[in-house]
Amino acid sequence: MKQPPLSNPYESLRISNQLCFPLYACSKELIRKYRKPLESLHLTYTQYVVMMVLWEFGNMTEGELGLKVHLDSGTLTPLLKRLEKQGLLTRTRASQNERKLLLQLTESGYQLREKALDVPKSMQGCIPLSHEELIQLKKLLDKALTNMEEEKMSIYDFTVKTGKGGELNLSDYKGKVIMVVNTATGCGFTPQYAPIEQMYKDYHDQGLEILDIPCNQFGAQAPGTDDEIHEFCTVHFNTTFPQMKKADVNGENELPLYTYLKAQKGFEGFNAHPYKELLESMFAKADPEWDKKPDIKWNFTKFIVDREGNVVARFEPTADMKDVENCVKALL
């Protein structure tokens, strides 16, 4: 008796791969078709999608908007800054939690909605499917996106090298509040080692962990070996938190951990500080688009991760260390 052919265990993967190109091609074609009707609104397709969500749901935080449009802050923040510059919305600190940015449409933003009513009319029939088929397709894509986001990488999937050459799995820090900071020994912000150490002493027993990652990319201000850096910190600041191996946080050789962190929290500007104008002037000369990129700008940039593994805040080196401490305390 002839045996039935064995099922291919990779069949579902093969089908998924075959779906990738038509989905990609379809999205490219849709964006191309939207380009002309959106020209009069002076919006890109992604900006239009963001505005549609705000027109439908009204004021919300940047985090809530990111969940609705499936964009991380590294992509969403520069986009919102451009919409703010166009006068279509404002971004302000929420009164209850100053780390949350509240988005509010301006009068111009609301007025644009009336002009945008013509866009769906001009795009009617651009996808040759019935209304019922479109609804079903949307449900399937929403389900796929939700499942993919649930399986996406978390901070606990990363490892970093310790200053002694060992390996630290961030999964060891599950359930802890984590501060990740790129440090340097010869920087104007180097004295921040002292309040960071004080925070470690005050809150480590309550669940705070600190990842100190020395980096020599900013003004070559961490030139020493790992041992030399460790000796400097312990002698001058009596540091007791663990020091990681010196590494890059931007560019080709950046730690994968930093690729992830920057995607979660982009650059939102420097705080009022004596070095603010100097830093802004220096970066503007090198790159007119510097403030639209999520790259680490300077030494002592801090990322705060809550007990669930969410990257909840990014503090530039110009931020008041009291604000950093308050953020950490609120999460413990």
Q: Report, as residue numbers or ranges, the catalytic residues.
A: 187
Q: Is 319 helix (H, G, I), strand (E, B) or coil?
A: coil
Q: Both tokens of residue 214?
A: 């020395």
Beta bridge partners of 186: none
Burial label, 187 (beta-carbon count in 10 A; 0-12, 13-18, 19+): middle
Contacts of 197 (CB under 8 A, 6+ apart): 237, 238, 239, 240, 241
Q: Which helix (H) or strand (E) holds 326?
A: helix 321-331
Other Cβ atoms less than 10 A from the Cβ of 141: the count is 11
Sign of CA dihedral 251, 257, 258, 263: positive
Q: Which of 176, 171, 250, 168 is nearest to 212 (CA)?
A: 168
Q: Both tokens of residue 112?
A: 């644009």
Distances (CA, A) of 192 to 139, 187, 216, 252: 50, 10, 17, 28
